[in-house]
Amino acid sequence: MSRCLVVLAALILASCESGGPWPNLADVPPEVKPGFQQASTLTPTPPPPASTDEAQAAMANAADAITDLGIRLDQRRDRFARLQRDLASQSGLLDADIAAGKGASADGWSKAQADLSRLNADVATLRDLRADVGADAAAGGGIVADLEPAGRAALDDAAKARLETLRTALDRVLAGLGALDRDIAEATARWQDKSSAQAATLDKAPPPLAGAQTAMEPAAGPARPSVRKPRPKKPAAAQASAPRDSGDRFKGRQPLVTLTFEDPDLDFETRLRGLIDKVRAQYPDIAFDIETVGAPPAQLGKVRGMLKGLDIPSDVFVTPVTAGAVPAIKLYPR
């Protein structure tokens, strides 16, 4: 019974990660005769027991697979522990900056925003790690099914003992995967809440950029920051791609800087370059998503040309202009 519970938990864990719908008997096609639901409740006839050779082959394959699962479980535990340490360190530094009032200056606020983006990227890595754990749990459930016919085979005492050892080892791995999944889920929720609170604090008083207005649209309430995975640095040639519609890409994200263009000829290049140089000194591999909201094409071209000249990857996304909105260009670090 305990083995059945462990396997059931593993399969539920895997199904949670896949996001697929549960089967619905109401969807039975009309050509199926009435009474299908009643007949489906009968105990199915089990497959025939494996032959001795088939059982030995299944156990050999299972032994290798269980060993691999155990190794990956240890690796995922180590990865989880490292991520926890990194998140605690990043969050602590960000809290210290906020408490010290460094966000009151443009430089300190910009660094805090970049730190927050890094924190959110690591939270995204936690979610990826949980998906990997779910995949391993599903693989473990498959091993249980593969060993089932061997359990009904005509085995000698030595083979039976080997089968029981394999089952015990597999139960231990599946239980470890279930515990790790719960730990990752709790940590993900905790760090998402923490980063949301920090984002709301930074959103209260963004500092001005000399010669240009830097502001974020007022929000009805603190939004959960968008969790995004870090991307590899793109080649310079990719920067020539045409702008794309932004959709909801920037929902919940905070820009490093917003340039507003009540004056379409606003001179911002020197000050913006100085700000980017300071942030880049902290994060040499920084890249940007650029959101343009009705900004003058010439000014957008200056921003893109500056980033290209600094060998900083960037992508441009277009957001439709709403009535009364001031034309703007926003730079989001990634």
**Residue 122 phi, psi dihedral angles, 5° rounding:** -70, -30
Q: Per-residue confidence of the chain (334 residues) as pLDDT tens digits?
A: 445 444 444 544 544 444 433 333 344 444 433 433 333 444 455 666 778 888 888 889 989 999 999 999 999 999 999 999 988 988 888 888 777 765 556 666 777 777 777 888 888 888 899 999 988 888 888 888 888 888 888 888 888 888 899 989 999 999 999 999 999 999 999 988 888 888 877 766 555 444 444 433 444 444 444 444 454 444 444 444 455 565 566 777 778 888 888 888 888 888 888 888 888 877 788 888 899 888 888 888 889 888 988 889 988 888 888 888 888 999 988 7
Identify the pLDDT of residue 159.
Answer: 85
Quick one: tokens of 146? 């593969």
Q: Which of 14, 12, 140, 9 is nearest to 72 (CA)?
A: 140
AA identity, residue 295: A
Identify the pLDDT of residue 285.
Answer: 84
DSSP state of 291: E
CB distance 41 to 148 below 8 Å? no
As a whole number of angstroms, the distance between CA 232 and CA 213 comes to: 31
**In b/e form, how buried is each residue of 246-284, taking b as 16+ CB within 10 angstroms?**
beebbeebbbbbbbbbeeeebebeebbeebbeebeeeee
Q: Which of 244, 252, 334 is nearest to 291 (CA)?
A: 244
Could you state, in order of their start, the residue ranges of all structural domains in the chain?
Answer: 2-14+49-203, 236-333
For 60, 154, 155, 160, the CA distances from 52, given in Å and listed in that order, are: 12, 6, 6, 11
Residue with tokens 């001179």: 267
CB distance 199 to 117 below 8 Å? no
Identify the pLDDT of residue 213.
Answer: 42
AA identity, residue 227: V
Complete edge-to-edge strand list for the sheet that includes strand 314-318: 244-245, 314-318, 288-293, 328-333, 257-260
As a whole number of angstroms, the distance between CA 180 and CA 222 comes to: 30
DSSP state of 252: T
**236-333: which CATH topology?**
Dihydrodipicolinate Reductase; domain 2 (3.30.360)
Per the document, the length of the chain is 334
Identify the pLDDT of residue 216.
Answer: 38
Identify the pLDDT of residue 75.
Answer: 94
Quick one: tokens of 317? 């996304």
